[in-house]
Amino acid sequence: MTRICLRERPELWLHDQGLKIQNGRSGRACPDGALAPSEAFVGQGEWANADGVLMVVEVTASASDADRRKRVEKPRTYAETGIPVYLLIDRDSAEVTVYSEPDGVRYETVQILPFGKTVRLPEPVGIALDTEPLKNWVR
């Protein structure tokens, strides 16, 4: 993901950064990746403001509690926070789910595609993501 993001949008970085969010678990979330300008979190410490985040990325895990959070709680929480795009990489179903157009409560647009397709991540991300390589990383 980092390589794709850098190639398409060199001014951005896929950060490993804790975020201050609306509601959720104690007002904090640790996404697997947070796409933002490369200097977006300078000086903010372990828990940064999510204002500059264009997209969060989550990858499903084997723990059922973590999976439930990524599929149910986090889409709502990220939409409430106003993060424009949420990309869920689902290893169990071999699909990607792209959530976009947050309205402050939920994402209004949800697109689900199987691994192997190219998905256009909506603005403000504006990256074409080839999901074919993801097939090599599941199960």
Residues 33-45: tens digit of each pLDDT: 999 999 999 999 9
The CATH code of domain 2-137 reads 3.90.1570.10
Three-state secondary-structure class, residue 70: helix
Could you state, in order of their start, the residue ranges of all structural domains in the chain? 2-137
DSSP designation for 121: E
Residues 17-31: tens digit of each pLDDT: 999 997 766 789 999
DSSP designation for 6: H
Residue 39 in tokens: 């200097």
Query: Residue 66, Cα to own-chain centre: how many angstroms?
Result: 15
Do residues 12 and 5 touch, judged by C-beta distance below 8 A? Answer: yes
Three-state secondary-structure class, residue 47: strand
